[in-house]
Amino acid sequence: AGFDALTHAFEAYVSVYANDFTDGMALHAAKLIWDNLAESVNGEPGEEKTRAQEKMHNAATMAGMAFGSAFLGMCHGMAHTIGALCHVAHGRTNSILLPYVIRYNGSIPEEPTSWPKYNKYIAPERYQEIAKNLGVNPGKTPAEGVENLAKAVEDYRDNKLGMNKSFKECGVDEDYYWSIIDQIGMRAYEDQCAPANPRIPQIEDMKDIAIAAYYGVSQEEGHKLRVQRQGEAATEEASERV
């Protein structure tokens, strides 16, 4: 639930519907969660842990208020789908996907979403602002800030919380996962959260990310695995016809 709330704050801040009213709540919620989530989960019983849990309740509510107006994005679109089909807890699903989506949205797309208040694609700058707000090195450029933020999220998930890094580690069956890749891509694309994503989510890209997230590898490696699998399937189908 804590990582779900963090994802709420991140996605609300980079959403195409983000505005002056939601930005403050999203940024402050993200900071509170970043500072208190690990203690609220792993801390020794006592006043400090209780205070961290109180801050988490407040932050989760603030993040909810932010996305109630700004909405969410691609990470939640994919998390809804994968979580439902693979029976993985929603917060855990978001924690695996979030670094991939940060990197995906943080690169300049060929086709950004069409939204009249944007004169240019600003998601990289928005992620850089999140990094600075959390005390993560924002880098000298937005691109550096994006990568530093993605790595910081991975480090927080892996080392401070000890969570799974991939859906394979979650125990999802490999053959079953491959059998639903097309469903993941289409359902995530059709999810109500997808239109608010700053970058138009492409179905094939979401398949690549889903595959990468299964093995805990890069999106580029996920793409290679998908192409390889498709080639093997085509060869097998051709052999059966002979």
Residue 149 contacts residue 102 (beta carbons within 8 Å): yes
The rounded distance, in Å, linking the Cα atoms of 221 and 71 is 30
* CA–CA separation, 35 and 239 (whole Å): 57
pLDDT of residue 235: 61
Report domain extents, the chain: 2-241
Q: Which residue type occupies 30?
A: A
Tokens of 123: 């998601």
pLDDT 10s digits, 139-171: 999 999 999 999 999 999 999 999 999 999 999
The gap from C-alpha 89 to its chain's centroid, in whole angstroms, comes to 14
Q: pLDDT of 22-67, one tens digit each? A: 999 999 999 999 999 999 999 999 999 999 999 999 999 999 999 9
Q: What is the dihedral of CA 92, 96, 102, 104, to 10 degrees?
A: -130
Number of H helices, E strands in the chain: 11, 0
Using alpha carbons, list the distances in angstroms from residue 109 to 22, 140, 156, 222.
25, 21, 27, 18
* Cβ–Cβ < 8 Å for 180, 85: yes
pTM here is 0.91
Q: Which fold has domain 2-241?
A: Dehydroquinate synthase-like, alpha domain (1.20.1090)
CB of 180 closer than 8 Å to CB of 214: no
What are the tens digits of pLDDT across the range 209-230? 999 999 999 999 999 999 998 8
Position with higher pLDDT, 85 vs 230: 85
Query: Which band of pLDDT confidence, cut at 50, 70 and 90, is reported for residue 201?
Result: confident
pLDDT band at 113 (very low <50, low <70, confident <90, very high): low
